[in-house]
């Protein structure tokens, strides 16, 4: 409560207490205000990071939306740099030249300017010399005039998708009310908090003062909604500038969101591009077009991540709560919201893994105050505590992972090959596990060869995680808990790629920024370790086979290397023996004599010996290779991954047969 007439102030009269009471005046904050003041917890730490987070929030919404209607996603992201003059004209501010130049932070005294110019001249002289003598220059000759403090860079971020679109009337609340969304249910989605898009708007309001613009149309709607709005931070309600319907001549469905924010492309360029690439890796069935439009056209960037497969993972299914995961508040809410009449029906229908029989047994166990037929709405708060206590102690089957939508080994393998071009790759999809009543699935891929060092790629509900690598369960497991040596992989010398994708109805992110999963949940840590190990086991057998093949090649090579020396030595001995034989100094056995005569008649020469020895090495090698091939089964032919576009995309009647390495579509 604000104002001077709070009870605390009126009761106590002394100036000291009145000061204290003023300090402790009760105030309320709206969620929008809270997140505006603590924007770092949602990933809006600074302009650069805010640009990155804005892009990812919009892209993730776009993918959630397309997938929700089983549409192969097509997402276009454009970041357009807006210079100060353009920005000023956008907001109707007239450009103004500096008058009192000394007032500015980047003001340079004449002396400082002179010093800088001398330094720059010297640097370019050195560069010219280096160039003439063929030496490499350290840095291109950019003069280091720093951007003045407070000089902002502005960007217009646009994200267009071919998704579900949004109902006309819901759009203002979806974008103008913090903590409102359609993804609060128990379902695997990229979005969860009902915050991301609003944070982009709050940031735009804080940095440019400009509203957000939304165009949207739902399937078979004959109009496109256009909405321009900002947010009333103090009341946490949308402030609508324009909300209208336009003709939908092109029968478009999807959404296009546009926001103008302060950002920093230079520092976050690589993070944004990495994010897009990794998103393309884990979502190979989507098509992404990313564009950066600079004020200087040479700096423009266009990257198209083409679709690699038409096969989408199954849509995640909304599920019910597992009895072991509910708290007292949730039980109260479920009791209030349920349409079921009796306690028995309530238990049986509002939770997973409680059938009629178990519901009856549970009610029996609750005590004489409870009965199967009692009205669920009559359950008292005290009785809810009893239900909660029993839920925590009773044994229930684990929730199944059927409601989840893992990326699939096929996609993971595709992603790894695309990203790292490794020599070998192994993938593993774990079975569903449970953490606090929520099912989760860990999938992993490990590759050897390709890009340098150990590269770790993390995904949660199919979102790439790029920050806070150090504390993440995947990084820590890969670096500390896998004994790579035991799988014949050298952690320091080999090029290792580790991909781990975790999906769940609830990803236990640290913070709201969706940046990493802590290392403190033993169920997840164990599942991650086991998935990586399973890949390593597969790799080990491949590596061992490859080592054997290499050893064999090595043996052939070293045997061949000694052929000239060996034949030289043998021939020398034979020559001496022949001399002794002709001079009759020594007697030889019959077969030896026959051979020595061949030497003297030049039937056996150094050359023929060499040929025979080479033939022998070849023969031994061939026999060993044959033996190896029979032992190891079919020989490994070099393979190439290709994506075959379907001939007629209009076939709606088909069955997809999945294998970890390919998908076969049977058109009916």
Ligand X SMILES: Nc1ncnc2c1ncn2[C@@H]1O[C@H](COP(=O)(O)OP(=O)(O)OP(=O)(O)O)[C@@H](O)[C@H]1O
Q: Report whether 514 belongs to an annotated binding site.
A: yes
Q: Return the number of the residue (166 or 334) whose C-beta is nearest ligand X.
A: 166
Q: Report whether 198 belongs to an annotated binding site.
A: yes
Region binding ligand X by CB under 6 A among candidate stretches 7-15, 130-138, 187-195, 431-439 = 187-195
Give, for 84, the enclosing helix (H) or strand (E): helix 84-90
Nearest distance from C-beta of residue 197 to ligand X, angstroms = 4
419 sits near ligand X (criterion: CB under 6 A): no
Region binding ligand X by CB under 6 A among candidate stretches 29-37, 196-204, 500-508, 606-614 = 196-204
Cβ-closest position to ligand X: 191
Nearest distance from C-beta of residue 340 to ligand X, angstroms = 27
**Phi and psi (nearest 5°) for 82?**
-125, 115
Q: DSSP letter at 267? A: H
57 sits near ligand X (criterion: CB under 6 A): yes
Q: Report whether 408 belongs to an annotated binding site.
A: no
**Phi and psi (nearest 5°) for 204?**
-65, -40
Nearest distance from C-beta of residue 221 to ligand X, angstroms = 13
- Count CB-CB contacts under 10 A for residue 142: 8
Q: Return the number of the residue (235 or 665) whose C-beta is nearest ligand X.
A: 235
CB 519 within 8 A of CB 481: no
Q: Return the number of the residue (219 or 356) whose C-beta is nearest ligand X.
A: 219
| CA 41 and chain centroid, separation | 19
Q: Report whether 26 belongs to an annotated binding site.
A: no
* 3-class secondary structure, 367: coil
Beta-carbon contacts of residue 508 (< 8 Å; ≥ 6 apart): 435, 436, 517, 518, 521, 524
Which of 493-504 are b and which e, b meaning 16 or more Cβ less than 10 Å from the residue's Cβ? eebbbbbbbbbb
Q: Return the number of the residue (258 or 325) whose C-beta is nearest ligand X.
A: 258
- Taking the C-alpha atoms of residue 348 and residue 356, their distance in angstroms, rounded to an integer, is 6
Which of 511-549 are b and which e, b meaning 16 or more Cβ less than 10 Å from the residue's Cβ? ebbbbbbbbebeebbebbbbbbbbbbebbeebbeebeeb
Q: Which long-range contacts (CB under 8 A, 24 or more apart) does 337-345 make?
A: 338/376, 340/376, 341/375, 341/376, 342/372, 342/373, 342/374, 342/375, 342/376, 343/370, 343/371, 343/372, 343/373, 343/374, 343/375, 343/376, 343/379, 344/372, 344/373, 345/376
- Taking the C-alpha atoms of residue 477 and residue 338, their distance in angstroms, rounded to an integer, is 42
Q: Return the number of the residue (194 or 316) whose C-beta is nearest ligand X.
A: 194
255 sits near ligand X (criterion: CB under 6 A): yes
Nearest distance from C-beta of residue 510 to ligand X, angstroms = 15
50 sits near ligand X (criterion: CB under 6 A): no
User: Contacting ligand X (CB under 6 A), which of 191, 211, 263, 439?
Assistant: 191
Nearest distance from C-beta of residue 360 to ligand X, angstroms = 38
Per the DSSP assignment, residues forming a β-bridge with 464 are 459
192 sits near ligand X (criterion: CB under 6 A): yes
Nearest distance from C-beta of residue 304 to ligand X, angstroms = 20
- Count CB-CB contacts under 10 A for residue 46: 15
User: Contacting ligand X (CB under 6 A), which of 194, 439, 445, 497?
Assistant: 194
Q: Return the number of the residue (68 or 548) whose C-beta is nearest ligand X.
A: 68
Q: Return the number of the residue (255 or 599) whose C-beta is nearest ligand X.
A: 255
DSSP conformation letters of 592-610 = HHHHHHHHHTTSS-HHHHH
Nearest distance from C-beta of residue 192 to ligand X, angstroms = 4
Q: Return the number of the residue (202 or 417) whose C-beta is nearest ligand X.
A: 202
497 sits near ligand X (criterion: CB under 6 A): no
Q: Report whether 249 belongs to an annotated binding site.
A: no
Site for ligand X in 165-184 (CB under 6 A): 165-166, 174, 181-183
Q: Report whether 191 belongs to an annotated binding site.
A: yes
User: In sequence order, what E strands does 71-169 have?
Assistant: 74-82, 153-161
Q: At what angle do helices 47-68 and 196-207 cross, to 10 degrees?
A: 150
Q: Report whether 148 belongs to an annotated binding site.
A: no
CB 525 within 8 A of CB 478: no
Longest dimension (CA), the chain: 137
Q: Return the number of the residue (193 or 252) whose C-beta is nearest ligand X.
A: 193
196 sits near ligand X (criterion: CB under 6 A): yes
Give the number of residues in contact with ligand X, rule: CB under 6 A: 22
In degrees to the nearest 10, what's the CA dihedral of 421, 423, 424, 427? -10
- Taking the C-alpha atoms of residue 4 and residue 235, their distance in angstroms, rounded to an integer, is 22
Site for ligand X in 324-343 (CB under 6 A): none
**Phi and psi (nearest 5°) for 551?**
-60, -40
Nearest distance from C-beta of residue 322 to ligand X, angstroms = 22
Q: Return the number of the residue (166 or 414) whose C-beta is nearest ligand X.
A: 166
Nearest distance from C-beta of residue 170 to ligand X, angstroms = 8
Nearest distance from C-beta of residue 255 to ligand X, angstroms = 4
User: Contacting ligand X (CB under 6 A), which of 6, 18, 120, 193?
Assistant: 193
Site for ligand X in 65-124 (CB under 6 A): 65
Binding mask 127-166 for ligand X (x = CB under 6 A): ----------------------------------x-xxxx
508 sits near ligand X (criterion: CB under 6 A): no
Please choose, from the candidates 304, 312, 277, 267, the residue with its C-alpha nearest in 3D space to the C-alpha of residue 459. Answer: 277
Nearest distance from C-beta of residue 218 to ligand X, angstroms = 9
CB 324 within 8 A of CB 111: no
Please choose, from the candidates 585, 618, 582, the residue with its C-alpha nearest in 3D space to the C-alpha of residue 597. Answer: 582
- Pick out the residues of the known binding site: 61, 161, 182-183, 191-198, 514
- Residues engaged in binding ligand X (CB under 6 A): 57, 61-62, 65, 161, 163-166, 174, 181-183, 191-198, 255
- Pick out the residues of the known binding site for ATP: 61, 161, 182-183, 191-198, 514
């Amino acid at each position: 409560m604000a104002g001077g007439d709070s009870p605390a102030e009126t009761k106590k009269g002394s100036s000291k207490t009145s000061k204290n009471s003023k300090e402790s005046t009760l105030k309320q904050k709206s969620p929008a205000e809270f997140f505006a003041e603590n924007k770092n917890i949602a990933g809006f730490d600074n302009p650069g990071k805010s640009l990155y987070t804005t892009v990812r929030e919009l892209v993730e919404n776009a993918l959630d939306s397309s997938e929700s209607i089983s549409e192969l996603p097509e997402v276009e992201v454009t970041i357009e740099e807006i210079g100060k003059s353009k920005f000023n004209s956008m907001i109707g501010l007239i450009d103004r030249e500096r008058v009192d130049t000394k007032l500015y932070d980047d003001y340079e005294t004449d002396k400082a300017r002179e010093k800088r110019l001398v330094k720059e001249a010297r640097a370019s002289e050195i560069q010219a010399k280096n160039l003439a003598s063929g030496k490499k220059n350290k840095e291109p000759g950019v003069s280091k005039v720093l951007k003045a403090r407070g000089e902002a860079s502005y960007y217009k971020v646009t994200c267009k998708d071919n998704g579900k679109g949004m109902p006309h009337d819901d759009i203002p609340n979806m974008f103008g009310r913090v903590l409102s969304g359609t993804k609060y249910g128990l379902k695997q989605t990229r979005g969860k908090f009902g915050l991301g898009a609003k944070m982009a708007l709050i940031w735009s309001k804080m940095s440019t003062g400009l509203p957000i613009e939304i165009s949207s149309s739902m399937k078979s709607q004959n109009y496109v909604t256009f909405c321009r709005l900002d947010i009333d931070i103090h009341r946490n309600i949308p402030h609508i500038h324009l909300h209208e319907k336009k003709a939908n001549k092109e029968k478009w469905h999807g959404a296009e969101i546009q926001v103008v924010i302060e950002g920093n492309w230079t520092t976050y360029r690589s993070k944004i591009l990495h994010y897009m690439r990794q998103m393309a890796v884990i979502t190979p069935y989507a098509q992404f077009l990313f564009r950066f439009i600079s004020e200087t056209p040479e700096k423009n960037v266009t990257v198209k991540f083409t679709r690699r497969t038409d096969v989408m993972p199954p849509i995640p299914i909304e599920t019910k709560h597992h009895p072991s995961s509910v708290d007292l508040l949730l039980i109260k809410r479920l009791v209030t919201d349920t349409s079921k009449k009796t306690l028995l029906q309530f238990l049986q229908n509002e939770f997973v893994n409680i059938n009629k029989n178990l519901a009856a047994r549970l009610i029996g166990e609750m005590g004489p105050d409870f009965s199967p037929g009692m009205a669920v709405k009559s359950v008292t708060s005290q009785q809810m505590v009893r239900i909660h206590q029993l839920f925590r102690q009773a044994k229930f089957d684990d929730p199944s992972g059927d409601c989840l939508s893992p990326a699939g080994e096929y996609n993971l393998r595709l992603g790894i090959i695309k990203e790292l071009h490794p020599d070998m790759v192994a993938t593993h999809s774990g079975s569903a596990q449970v953490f606090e009543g929520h099912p989760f699935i860990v999938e992993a891929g490990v590759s050897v060869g390709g890009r340098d060092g150990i590269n770790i790629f993390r995904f949660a509900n199919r979102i790439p995680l790029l920050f806070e690598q150090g504390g993440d369960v995947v990084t820590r497991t890969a670096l500390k808990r896998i004994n790579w040596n035991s799988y014949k992989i050298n952690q320091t010398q080999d090029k290792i790629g580790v991909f781990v994708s975790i999906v769940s109805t609830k990803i236990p992110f640290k913070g709201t920024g969706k940046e990493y999963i802590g290392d403190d949940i033993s169920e997840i840590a164990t599942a991650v370790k086991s998935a990586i190990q399973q890949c390593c086991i597969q790799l080990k057998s491949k590596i061992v086979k490859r080592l054997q093949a290499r050893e064999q090649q090595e043996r052939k090579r070293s045997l061949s290397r000694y052929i000239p020396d060996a034949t030289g030595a043998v021939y020398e001995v034979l020559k001496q023996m022949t001399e002794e034989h002709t001079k009759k100094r020594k007697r030889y056995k019959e077969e030896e004599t026959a051979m020595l005569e061949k030497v003297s008649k030049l039937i056996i020469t150094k050359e023929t010996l060499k040929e025979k020895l080479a033939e022998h090495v070849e023969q031994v090698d061939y026999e060993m290779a044959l033996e190896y091939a029979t032992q190891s089964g079919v020989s490994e032919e070099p393979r190439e991954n290709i994506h075959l576009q379907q001939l007629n995309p209009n076939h709606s009647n088909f069955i997809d047969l999945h294998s970890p390495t390919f998908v076969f579509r049977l058109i009916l």
